[in-house]
Amino acid sequence: MARDHGAQIKDDALYEELRKQGDSKEKAARIANARANGSLDHRGDALDDRTKADLLKEARELGIAGRSKMDKAELVKTIRGHR
């Protein structure tokens, strides 16, 4: 059972899992609270369906280095890891 992190954290179990993965306290709290209230953006789920050109554009906006040498699968993995 997840420890109670107080009223500011709405999904304690998800918060703890994100912290174990290395996310900062702030990022873990934002994600856990967004998931709890149903406002979490699920854009990452559709990355596989996007074109390589779209992925390159998003990678450029995110400032991912080496993006021009990546294939589509590498772009998807990198973008997911960057969010």
Residues 25 and 57 in one domain: no
pLDDT of 74 reads 95
Could you tell me the pLDDT band of residue 45, with boundaries at 50, 70 and 90?
low
pLDDT of 69 reads 96
For the cut 90, the answer to whether the pLDDT of residue 41 exceeds it is no
**Number of Cβ within a 10 Å radius of residue 79:** 21
Nearest C-alpha neighbor of 55 from the set 35, 79, 32: 79
Does residue 4 or residue 60 have the better pLDDT? 60
Kindly report the backbone phi and psi dihedral angles of residue 81, in degrees, each rounded to the nearest multiple of 5, phi listed first.
-70, -20
Residues 19 and 36 in one domain: yes
Residues 23 and 54 in one domain: no
Residues 47 and 29 in one domain: no
Contact 60, 79 (CB under 8 A): no
Check residue 21 and report its DSSP letter.
T
| Domain carrying residue 70 | 43-82
